[in-house]
Homo-oligomer: A and B are copies of this chain.
Amino acid sequence: MPSENVTLEGHIIDALTLPTVLDEIIALGASFEIVDFSVGTRHEDASFARIKVTAADDTELANVIDRLRRHGANPETVEDALIEQADVDGAFPPGFYSTTNLATEVRLESRWIPVDRPEMDCGIVIEDSTARTIPMADVRSGMSIVMRGLGIRVSPPERPRGDERQAFEFMSSDISSEKPKGLLVDQVAAQMKEIKGLGKRIMWVVGPALVHTGSAPDLCALIRAGYVDALFAGNGLAAHDIEANMFGTSLGVNLHEGIAAEHGHEHHIRAINELRRHGSFDAAITAGVFDDGIVYHLVKNGCSYLFGGSVRDDGPLPEVVTDMAEVQQRLRDLIWGSDGRDLVGFCIVVGTMLHGIATGNCLPASVPLVCVDINQATVTKLMDRGSFQSMGIITDVGLFVRELAERLAPHEIRSTRS
Contacts and interface: CB of A to CB of B under 8 A. Distances in A.
Interface string A49-88: 0000000000000010011000000000000000000001
B264 A121 contact: yes
A267 to B, nearest CB: 10
A334 B22 CA distance: 41
B182 A418 contact: yes
B14 A398 contact: no
A27 B166 contact: yes
A367 to B, nearest CB: 16
A230 to B, nearest CB: 15
Q: Categorize the interface residue count of chain A.
A: 35 or more
Given A26-B161, A273-B91, A394-B374, A121 B166 contact: no
A252 B328 CA distance: 34
Interface stretch (A104-112, A221-229, A309-317): A309-317
A339 interface: no
B312 A357 contact: yes
A46 to B, nearest CB: 12
Interface string A166-190: 1101000010111111110010000
A266 interface: yes
Interface string A214-225: 110000000000
Interface in A24-55: 24-27, 31-35, 37, 39-43
